Amino acid sequence: MPARCVARAVEMVQCKTINEKAIAHAEIVIEGELVPNVRVREDQNTHTGRAMPEFPGYTGEAKEAIPVIKVKAVTHRTQPIWRTTVGPGEEHVNMAGIPTEASILDMVERAMPGQITQRLRPLGRRRQTTGGTAI
């Protein structure tokens, strides 16, 4: 895909520690290898039985055995651009809240028809009330 954006071949270079190629002008390159025949519990440090939460805050049961990656080198451009999605931040929660709210309202309406009469708007912080049962 990157080659299509610039209409020329993507320049590749040899990695520093493994026999693979990396994009020559990548912001950051993490070189590593999967350790053969080695697996660890996903919650090996916390022993909670729970997986590390995904960015919107969802979690699940820890996997019994996940692969181990041994990082061998990290290289980067001078002052690389580091984009990250760390959450759940307000933007992620608000974005996820739109379809989540629609799903919840639909389920409540099917379970208790006509009972949804009040809701709190997450961004405007205004109440909308028309009487009846508030949720």
Q: What is the pLDDT of residues 72-119, one digit of tens each?
A: 999 999 999 987 666 566 776 677 777 777 888 888 888 888 877 765
Residues with a catalytic annotation lie at 54
Yes or no: say if 30 and 17 are a contact pair by the CB < 8 Å rule.
no
Burial of 25 from C-beta contacts in 10 A (0-12 / 13-18 / 19+): exposed
pLDDT at 125: 47
> pTM of the full predicted structure?
0.53
How many of the other CB atoms lie within 10 Å of CB of 32?
Answer: 15
Domain regions of the chain by residue span? 8-76, 90-124
What integer best gives the mean pLDDT of the chain?
80
Listed range (22-36, 38-52, 76-90, 100-114) with the worst mean pLDDT = 76-90
Distance CA(17)–CA(35), nearest Å, equals 15
